[in-house]
Structure 1
Amino acid sequence: MINTIVFEMDDILFSQKEYVLSGLREVDKLVIRRYSVDGFYQVASELYDDGERKQLIKKALDNLNIRYDEKMVHFLTKKYYEHVPTIQLFQDAKWVLNHLARDVKLGIISDGILDAQYNKVKALGLNSKFQSIILCDRFGRENWKPSILPYKHLCMALETEHHECCFVGNNPNTDFITANKLGWETVHLDRMSTYFSEQNQSYEYNAKYKIQHLRELANIPGLKHLFTNRYVPI
């Protein structure tokens, strides 16, 4: 019987876009201070909306005709990842946390740059809500999901067995293949507006269940007993 629910963090518990915009506002302040040029936030946020990810800061600076070197880009990127973001939990994440039975074990397994992920945890106050938070970058980039290491560490930390765990993620490329092999229950949260919504993988990469709202966890047969009341859609 499942007694543990484990979540990815980005776009599951909060909006990653909200985090990105928070970081861009911090970089905007630095650009104004260094170059006396307005408009970085607006340009960068529009580039993000257009799908830019890897070269976001560089391309925004280019669009503003700002001369820079790699040292400056490194500095701005570092400040972006180090900032404590202005973010909040999704309403459905709050609902889940408020309606789980008291004896349910809660965990997080999350990829991403360590400083950034740690500051997200801090901003959301997750240490007081989850018994174990595994930030995979602690073990090196090679141990981001689908590495087996974070799953094992979480089970040891929570003193639970693999068959007693459920993982809730949103990236079919990495989130479910290892959990499936270990015998975890797996749930794909597809909010339809996230980067991974359109991606398809072979059977072993797919979650057992697919939902569009975290409240739907309370309707999954193997998870109903974890909630104090069932979610009834309006």
Structure 2
Amino acid sequence: MDTKTNTILIFDLDDTLYKEIDYLSSAYKEIASFISKKVTKSSEQLWQEMLASYHRGDNVFHAIIKRYQLTDVGIEDFIAMYRRHHPHIQLTSSTKQFLASVKEQVFKVGLITDGRGMQQRHKLKALGLSNYFDTVVISEEFGSEKPNKANFKYFEDTYGAHLDYIYVGDNTAKDFIAPNTLGWQTFCLLDDGRNIHKQSFDLEPSKYPNHCIRDLSDMALILPLTYNPHEITSS
């Protein structure tokens, strides 16, 4: 198979190309810096408190407002800061090299991700992926979110249904329903313990991916890609 002319490879973003917990940590750090100007604790201490609160399952913003009796800022203000901030996140060297390799081999590379347009595009910029994808579907901009089939069908309408479509995601609750229905190949990147949304494989058949992988480079063991995952070094 000539992958350059036949394959369209489409990715999810959060917890697939990078770890969403890193975005959360970045946002908390910025918010902690903001709060530190109002209280007597350092931004580092506040950041660590917020992370600990998150891992306990608290409502982090409510807890921090209550603990420090913040009266001039509310939960909605923190949510807005969380969504608007320019994150300090990056691809692993493994992911970066894999993406560069497959970009040269497949016909088109796309992205289907749920979230707000500004927030997701800030992530793409921070990851150095703003110009990487040929087509980007972000739920807020597109008008619907996964598992809506329209978000996926858009690619077939754009490039043709006769091509070989592959979707790579991580969320077993919603990522694979639509592409499975459309007859695409689906890959699930397994949770390494850091995912925001935990995976469950107690699934009805329509939700189950075709393949489960532990690293994106493992796709090269299944697909006709001239790429050796053992030649890379993960960061």
Q: Residue 12 of structure 1 contacts residue 169 of structure 1 at CA under 8 Å; is this kept in 2? A: yes
Tell me the TM-score normalized by structure 2.
Answer: 0.85
Q: How does 1:70-149 map to 2 (within 5 A)?
A: 72-100=74-102, 102-104=104-106, 105-140=108-143, 143-149=144-150
Corresponding residue for residue 226 of structure 2: 228
CA distance in 2, matches of 1:173, 1:217: 21
Deviation at 1:199, TM superposition (A): 5.0
Letter in 1 for 2:153: K
Give the drift of 1:113.
2.8
Check the 8 A contact 2:39/2:68 in 1, yes or no: no
Deviations 1:100-134 (A, max 9, x none): 26241111101123322121011112122211111
Q: Distance in 2 between matches of 1:197 and 1:131?
A: 29
Q: Name the % identity.
A: 26
- Classify the secondary structure of the residue corresponding to 2:130: helix
Count of aligned positions: 223
| Partner Cα separation in structure 2 for residue 109 and residue 162 of structure 1 | 19
SS at match of 1:109: strand
Query: Is the CA contact 1:146–1:174 (under 8 Å) kept in the aligned structure 2?
Result: yes
User: Which residue of structure 1 lines up, in the alignment, with residue 187 of structure 2?
Assistant: 187
Shift of the 125–101 alpha-carbon distance from structure 1 to 2, 3 Å rule, reads closer
Structure 1 segments of 4 or more deviating over 4 A? none
CA shift, 1:65, in A, is 3.5
Pair 1:216–1:205, CA change in 2 (3 A): same
Quote the residue 1:175 is aligned against: 175
Cα drift, residue 163 of structure 1? 5.2
CA contact (8 A) 1:21 1:45 kept: yes
**Structure 1 residues 172 and 45, CA gap change in structure 2 (3 angstroms):** same
Deviation at 1:135, TM superposition (A): 0.9
Distance 1:162 1:111, change over 3 A: farther
Deviation at residue 43 of structure 1 after TM alignment? 1.2
Task: Show structure 2 runs of 5+ residues with no match.
Answer: none
Quote the offset at 1:21 in angstroms.
Answer: 0.6
Tell me, yes or no, if the aligned pair for 1:169 and 1:189 is still in contact at 8 Å. yes
Aligned position for 1:14: 18
State the 1:60 CA deviation.
Answer: 3.0
User: In structure 2, the residue corresponding to 1:43 is in which secondary structure?
Assistant: helix
Deviation at 1:156, TM superposition (A): 3.8
Shift of 1:155: 3.3
Structure 1 residues 124 and 156: CA distance shift in structure 2, 3 A: farther
CA distance in 1, matches of 2:230, 2:41: 51
8 Å Cα contact 1:162/1:184 also seen in 2: no
Distance 1:147 1:163 in 2: 20
| Alignment gaps of 5+ in structure 1 | none
Cα RMSD between the aligned structures?
A: 2.3
Secondary structure of 1:127's aligned partner: coil
> What SS does the aligned partner of 1:40 have?
helix
Cα distance in 1 for partners of 2:205, 2:138 equals 27
Q: How far apart, CA to CA, are the structure 2 residues paired with 1:43 and 1:162?
A: 52
> Which whole-Å deviations, capped at 9, do the CAs of 1:49-101 have from their partners, x for residues lacking one?
3345xx32212333x342447x6221121011101100001233113113226
